[in-house]
Amino acid sequence: MRSISLMDQISSWIFLLSLKIFIGIKNKYAFTQVVDPIATSDAGMPKYGGVAKLYFEEQLSSVEGEKVEEKAIKVEYHEFESRNVFCTGLAFVPKEGGVQEDDGWIIAFVHNEDTNISQAHIIDGKKVSDEAVAKITLPCRVPYGFHGAFLPISFQPPTPSSS
C-alpha cells in the first residue's frame, strides 16, 4: 500500500469508478487508472500503467515509519507485468447480488507495446493488488482511448426473435 494526497496527485488520476447504486452518496472506495508520467511524456499522450483502488475512509498517519501528509489515504495498486504495458477503458462490473461498493470486477483493456498483444484483464474489486483473475487475449489491437460499457441483461432491448 502507498499513500497519496488527492490534491497533489490529481493530474495522475482519471476515471473514478464505483458501483452505480452508490453514486450520489459518500463513497468508501473508487477505482481509477494511474498515469505513467514517463511514458506519457515520451508519447505526448496519456498512458496508464496501472489500476488503483482508493480507500477514502482510511487515512494514513505513516507509511513504513515515514510521516505522511495529513490528508493521505490508503491506495492499493494493480501493476502490470512489464514496463511497456498500458491500460485504457476501465469499467466496473458489479457482482450480481453485491452489496458493498467493491463487490465486482474491474475490466481493463491492456496493450503490451513490446509484443503488440491486447488483452482484457479482469481484476477482483476486493483484491486489486492480486494478479488478474482472468486475462483474455483479444484477436486485434484495442486502441488507447477505447471505452466500454457493461449492462445487465435486464437493460438490453429484446431481440426480434423474442417478441
**pLDDT of 10:** 38
Q: Name the residue ranges covered by the structural domains of the chain.
A: 2-151
pLDDT, tens digit (0-9, with 9 covering 90-100), for 1-59: 444 444 334 344 444 555 566 667 788 888 888 888 899 889 988 899 999 998 988 88
pLDDT, tens digit (0-9, with 9 covering 90-100), for 61-83: 656 666 655 678 889 999 898 88
Confidence band (pLDDT; 50, 70, 90) for 155?
low
pLDDT, tens digit (0-9, with 9 covering 90-100), for 97-126: 888 888 999 999 999 999 999 999 999 999
Q: Give the residue carrying C-alpha cell 513504513.
A: 64
Confidence band (pLDDT; 50, 70, 90) for 138?
very high
For residue 111, which of 67, 59, 157, 45 has the smallest C-alpha distance?
45
pLDDT, tens digit (0-9, with 9 covering 90-100), for 141-154: 888 877 665 556 66
Return the beta strands (E) in 18-151 as ranges.
29-35, 48-59, 62-63, 66-67, 73-79, 85-94, 104-112, 117-124, 134-137
Q: Is 15 helix (H, G, I), strand (E, B) or coil?
A: strand
C-alpha cell at 60: 494514513
